Chains A and B, each alone.
Chain A
């Protein structure tokens, strides 16, 4: 079977404007969550999030580009540039035809929707900018990444709520394995930090007003973030032939559906997804040294996820490390799996396991090694990353150290 490796990665998150800056934040257990700043934030009861600060779109993109790029597209383009740059790939016409883009986003151009609904409903305007439709469409980021880099292979976007990025990366892996592409730029982006985006989440009563504390008994819910991460997935022999530096191998993927509840997680579904990913990777559960948890910081998720991890790993559950980096960058919804894969690559490549910060009090129903508050040096051969979305859509990936 054709093997899939990672030869580049890029990111922009509340922890930093690049992948190394984001990972540096995770290494130091830094919290990127703070007071939100946008129009009408005073009308929200939830006013914190992992918002990207100090970012000036006009310093990166031209006025013409910005008339086409929603914030989620801007983030995807920035992360894709960095990833492609690191990979060292030179996109010729022939390689472009063998290169795809598969990106996850749940909301797509929400900032554009918000601005323009505001214009027509709140401000009573009768006209909106002519390019609103191509700016807000869910697939706009994937299209612009392909256009910017002349990537003419398979390109699409995936929307499966909080599992969007994991589904996207799983499909990217499948494309390469199946021989439909040799290289795929994959990951995800999200920009839901706007009045409407947070107002909608408030209604669910699962958001925290102070901090995201996954697995901590005093947790008070989830906190949203924004940003993107994009990886270059490449067929192993293709990468070897050009002497590329290989960051990690993507060895396993599994997806399934709970088919039971539109919001509640399922231990059974999560268990099946993790087992499936291990089978696909042909790894024994004991090979996994680190699990990047879905770890939203809600009671429902954290307890179901810990129960599922116990079920899958048995006695080994007490030996592995599991952390939720959402405590630092927030929940990027459709982009979250991509940012979290960065932590898995760091674990298998650099031997650094990102912590769960904000952890204060053990929860007996989450009695695993959650790497509380401080990153840890450890030799990790393989790492798993979980995404269990609303609607019961589960997607799990496994990455392995490459040597």
Chain B
């Protein structure tokens, strides 16, 4: 059950990023950075909005202090992990 939820989070996050990057989800790897995917600062805030809507969570992210944010947007994998931990906190 836990494994399924985990894979679902990954699938949804990858889907959101793929749509933002106008790529096919199969081409989005967990190690890719947002820069690799060609997602700019506007794309980042749209991505975060989509994630909040998809998982019904509040993502703490301030574009002025990305490094100070608990939400790690460095790679696809780090975003997935951050979303998982936000879901766990909520539950």
Q: Which residues of A contact B (CB under 8 A)?
A: 45, 203-208, 219-221, 262-264, 297-300
Is the C-beta of B45 less than 8 angstroms from some C-beta in chain A? yes
Provide the B55-74 mask, 1 if CB < 8 A to any CB of A, else 0.
Answer: 00010011111000000000
Asked whether A203 lies within 8 Å of B45 as measured between CB atoms, the reply is yes
Distance between Cα atoms of A208 and B45 in the complex (Å):
15
Contact of B62 among A205, A262, A300 (CB under 8 A): A205
Distance between Cα atoms of A297 and B65 in the complex (Å):
12
Asked whether A299 lies within 8 Å of B58 as measured between CB atoms, the reply is no
- Interface contact tally, CB-CB below 8 A: 36
Return B35 CB to nearest CB of chain A, in Å.
Answer: 15
Asked whether B58 lies within 8 Å of A298 as measured between CB atoms, the reply is no
Return A180 CB to nearest CB of chain B, in Å.
Answer: 40
Nearest A residue to B42 by beta-carbon distance? Answer: A263
Is the C-beta of B48 less than 8 angstroms from some C-beta in chain A? yes
Distance between Cα atoms of A205 and B41 in the complex (Å):
10
Return A222 CB to nearest CB of chain B, in Å.
Answer: 8
Asked whether A220 lies within 8 Å of B64 as measured between CB atoms, the reply is yes
Q: B14-63: which have CB < 8 Å to A? A: 41-42, 44-45, 48-49, 58, 61-63
- Residues in A neighbouring B58, C-beta threshold 8 A: 45
Distance between Cα atoms of A123 and B45 in the complex (Å):
31
Asked whether A205 lies within 8 Å of B63 as measured between CB atoms, the reply is yes
Nearest A residue to B69 by beta-carbon distance? Answer: A205
Nearest A residue to B49 by beta-carbon distance? Answer: A203
Q: Besides A205-B44, A263-B41, 6 other CB < 8 A contacts?
A: A205-B62, A207-B62, A220-B65, A262-B42, A297-B64, A298-B63
Nearest A residue to B45 by beta-carbon distance? Answer: A205
Return B38 CB to nearest CB of chain A, in Å.
Answer: 15
Asked whether B64 lies within 8 Å of A221 as measured between CB atoms, the reply is yes
Distance between Cα atoms of A206 and B62 in the complex (Å):
6
Asked whether B42 lies within 8 Å of A220 as measured between CB atoms, the reply is no
- Residues in A neighbouring B64, C-beta threshold 8 A: 206, 208, 219-221, 297-299
Which 3 residue pairs are nearest across A and B when measured between Cβ atoms?
A221-B64, A205-B63, A299-B64
- Residues in B neighbouring A219, C-beta threshold 8 A: 64
